[in-house]
Amino acid sequence: MKKLEFSNGDVMPNLGLGTWKSAPGEVGAAVKTAVRTGYRHIDCAYVYGNEAEIGNALSELFADGEVRRDELWITSKLWNNFHAPQRVRPALDNTLKDLQLDFLDLYLIHWPILFREDVFWPSKGSEMVPLEEIPLPDTWKAMVACRDAGATRHIGVSNFSVRKIREVTDATGVQPEVDQVEMQPLLQQPGLKAYCDENDIILTAYSPLGSRDRSADNKSSDEPDLFKNPVISSIARAHDCSPAQVLIRWALQRGTAVIPKSVNPERIRQNYDTLKMKLSDAEMEALAGLERHYRFLNGQVFEMEGSPYTAKSLWDE
Ligand code: A2P
């Protein structure tokens, strides 16, 4: 399995715990269960609204000697109303305060999308701002400054197309180290994956299970159920494992990081056990055959009337 190694020798554990949609009151226990199970990578974001509870869980784990800070990989993300260069470091500092950490391992620009500074989540299109107002390279330079200052060891992006990765790289001479995007067998992102492989950019697969627990306004009514897909189910039967485990193992074996979300102790452990599995070449090929460019997270939430963003401009497709 590919080692997710950075140019300075740091290695990101390829399996992480996702925390999007993990409710306050549940996420702290999930993080503790995950660390006790063996997870060493926790994926967070300001917008998930649960970083303070994760911070409490981490500080208890450290205080009790269950894990050391230097054994953990903690990622967080810059939210869409903090792209102005002078707001980037304060946003990171706020996340560090909530997580009760001195530094992050990885900080990502969460979306190539801008909200008005006073807007956490837009209720109308006019609360979103075109990217021309704060071009991505300007935000990226502020991210580089955060890394130079040691507030985060690594920096990257999320939901960025090849075109947008190139835009920030060409303008600043500094390439994102990671791109975190949706990837599952119906959305394998072959072009992005080839580009990242060629350029030593690490990919992290989010929503590897199809994120069935997200809210209705962020869901299509006719979306497929990965757990009922006949190819995935038949491979699961052959391994006497769950379809979720097949999906996670597929991502690991493709050489990406993967961050399945769970707040259920049994499922947190089950997902971790994928580190011991192995899918055959024929099974990987059968899964490769499922590609149909289907996004569960298609960007429709940003397409409200008057918004400067469309799914087409978001994904550059
Ligand atoms: P729960 O948190 O109750 O375990 P994604 O990572 O794609 O966002 O998917 C998260 C969804 O998948 C959540 O509803 C989560 O529920 C569920 N889930 C996580 N692990 C498993 C598993 N091993 N089997 C079935 N469902 C799972």
Positive or negative, the CA dihedral 69, 70, 73, 79 is positive
Distance 255 CA to ligand 1 centre (A): 21
* Inter-residue contact 176 to 201 (CB < 8 Å): yes
- Among protein residues, the one with the nearest Cα to ligand 1's atom 4 is 262
Give pLDDT tens digits for 75-99: 999 999 999 999 999 999 999 999 9
- Among protein residues, the one with the nearest Cα to ligand 1's atom 14 is 213
Specify the ligand 1 atom closest to the Cα of 261: 6
**Amino acid 221: pLDDT:** 83
Distance 264 CA to ligand 1 centre (A): 8
- Among protein residues, the one with the nearest Cα to ligand 1's atom 23 is 267
Instruction: Report the alpha-carbon angle 49-130-75, nearest 5.
Output: 35
Q: Which of 213, 214, 249, 269 to mutate to test the pocket of ligand 1 (most atoms within 8 A of CB)?
A: 213
**Amino acid 218: pLDDT:** 83
**Amino acid 121: pLDDT:** 96
The structure's pTM equals 0.98
Q: Which of 39, 267, 271, 273 to mutate to test the pocket of ligand 1 (most atoms within 8 A of CB)?
A: 267
Specify the ligand 1 atom closest to the Cα of 296: 7
Distance 87 CA to ligand 1 centre (A): 34
Distance 210 CA to ligand 1 centre (A): 9
- Among protein residues, the one with the nearest Cα to ligand 1's atom 25 is 244
- Among protein residues, the one with the nearest Cα to ligand 1's atom 26 is 244
Which sequence positions are flagged as catalytic?
A: 48
**Amino acid 303: pLDDT:** 92
d(CA 83, CA 104): 18
**Amino acid 9: pLDDT:** 96
Give pLDDT tens digits for 9-29: 999 999 999 999 999 999 999
Specify the ligand 1 atom closest to the Cα of 243: 24
**Amino acid 216: pLDDT:** 85
Sequence-distant (≥ 6) Cβ neighbours of residue 243 within 8 angstroms: 226, 227, 228, 229, 232, 233, 236
**Amino acid 283: pLDDT:** 98
**Amino acid 8: pLDDT:** 95
Instruction: Report the alpha-carbon angle 11-77-31, nearest 5.
Output: 65
Sequence-distant (≥ 6) Cβ neighbours of residue 224 within 8 angstroms: 186, 210, 294
Distance 131 CA to ligand 1 centre (A): 33
293: left (phi over 0), alpha (psi -120 to 50) or beta: left
- Among protein residues, the one with the nearest Cα to ligand 1's atom 1 is 262
Q: Which of 43, 215, 261 to mutate to test the pocket of ligand 1 (most atoms within 8 A of CB)?
A: 261
* Inter-residue contact 103 to 118 (CB < 8 Å): no
Residues with CB under 6 A from ligand 1: 18, 207-213, 242, 244, 260-264, 267, 270-271
Give pLDDT tens digits along the chain (317 positions): 678 999 999 999 999 999 999 999 999 999 999 999 999 999 999 999 999 999 999 999 999 999 999 999 999 999 999 999 999 999 999 999 999 999 999 999 999 999 999 999 999 999 999 999 999 999 999 999 999 999 999 999 999 999 999 999 999 999 999 999 999 999 999 999 999 999 999 999 999 999 999 988 888 888 999 999 999 999 999 999 999 999 999 999 999 999 999 999 999 999 999 999 999 999 999 999 999 999 999 998 999 999 999 999 999 99
Task: Provide the Cα torsion 128, 134, 140, 146; round to 10°.
Answer: -90
Distance 68 CA to ligand 1 centre (A): 27
